[in-house]
Copies of this chain bind each other. A is one copy, B any other.
């Protein structure tokens, strides 16, 4: 592994865990974030580490991104020619309903950030990109299992559309200038620092009203969940073993997931055991939500990686962590 890593969306949920791992392994890390949704507080005691740099930049701004990266590459104890940096492109709009209300949000934060990252990598001759894609690119597959090579790909949210659009750009970049890219299709990821997602939402609702927990959708939505520590572990594992120029890999647990009902009950049991849970009438929580989802992780297993926690165990651990984070 090279010793320099740049992470976009560097003040976000996944980046906090990734940066911690990379720093612990002795690497130098540059975090880029516009702080529109991320926060330096997510970095905890990592902020101020001597091998960590943070720059507040809109990652969709090619000029600013290139300048900041170039400056970082030329400073500190690395010479400017010591081989570039590995780029982890995690910046994206994580608020899916917001992107449905205003498509410009996903355009700018999810798609144009990828465009800018690729432009900057091309200009600075950076050779390795790891990209956080999403199961949302598959759309609603019904009973079919999401396999990396399957089609059709028909995303049903702007978030999924802009992630698929980003994958398309990366595919063309690999053909034209980028030596190495891995595309990781994330499942639902849980853990701390929680910035969004169903567990955080439910914990906060119960803190506001400990007697009643209103749940979006009828609670039957079933999805696979992975703990963020394991997600980062899987990415680092595959990144060290990418066989060719371009790999696309689902990351997820090996089970079919848990239902919203199970999550709601786990939150209730941890935060307010006497609360009543009330469900909505529809299977979907919001437009663009995929009610059920089954994920193939055969490729990931073929790489040699398997999670230690299944979906249910990941949820229980995350509920406990997030309740702690929220002092609930």
Listed in ascending order, the chain A residues whose CB lies under 8 Å from chain B are 100, 103, 107, 111, 115, 118-119, 137, 139, 148-158, 160-162, 164-165, 168-169, 171-172, 175-176, 246, 248, 287-288
What chain B residues lie within 8 Å of A152 (beta carbons)? 148-151, 248
Copies in the assembly, this chain: 2
Judge whether A155 and B171 touch: CB under 8 Å.
Answer: yes
Q: What are 21 A-B interface contacts by the 8 Å CB criterion?
A: A103-B119, A111-B111, A139-B171, A148-B151, A148-B152, A151-B151, A151-B153, A153-B168, A154-B171, A154-B246, A155-B171, A156-B171, A156-B176, A157-B176, A160-B168, A160-B172, A161-B171, A162-B168, A164-B164, A164-B168, A168-B168
Chain B nearest CB from A294 CB (Å) reads 16
Q: What residues of B have a CB within 8 angstroms of the CB of A148 in the complex?
A: 151-152
Interface secondary structure of A, over-half rule? helix
When distances are taken between beta carbons in the complex, the residues of chain B under 8 Å from A100 are: 176
Is the beta-carbon distance between A156 and B175 smaller than 8 angstroms? yes
Asked if residues A156 and B172 are in contact (CB atoms below 8 Å), the reply is yes
Q: Given the complex, which residues of B lie within 8 Å of A157, measured CB to CB?
A: 172, 175-176
Q: CA–CA, A20 to B276, complex, Å?
A: 65
Is the CB–CB distance between A161 and B168 below 8 Å?
yes
- Find the residue from A115, A160, A162, A172 having the highest chain B CB count within 10 A: A172
Q: How far is the CA of A152 from the CA of B169 in the complex (A)?
A: 14
What 9 pairs between A and B have smallest CB-CB spacing?
A: A151-B151, A165-B165, A156-B175, A161-B168, A161-B172, A164-B168, A154-B171, A149-B152, A150-B151
Is A118 in contact with B139, judged by CB distance below 8 angstroms?
no
17 additional contacts, CB 8 Å, given A111-B165, A158-B169, A158-B176? A103-B169, A107-B115, A137-B168, A139-B175, A150-B151, A153-B168, A156-B172, A157-B172, A158-B172, A160-B168, A161-B171, A161-B172, A162-B168, A164-B168, A168-B168, A172-B288, A176-B287
Which residues of chain B are within 8 angstroms of A115 by Cβ–Cβ distance? 103, 107
**Within 8 Å CB of A161, what residues of B?**
165, 168-169, 171-172
Residues on the B chain within 8 Å of A176, using CB = 100, 156-158, 287-288
A159 to B151, CA, bound (A): 20
Question: Shortest beta-carbon distance, A135 to chain B, in Å?
Answer: 14
In the bound complex, CA of A161 to CA of B175 (Å): 11
User: What B residues does A154 contact at CB under 8 A?
Assistant: 171, 246
Contacts of A149 in B (CB 8 A): 151-152
Residue of B nearest to A111 (CB): B165
Across-interface contacts of A137 in B (CB, < 8 A): 168
Which residues of B have CB within 8 Å of A153? 151, 153, 168, 171
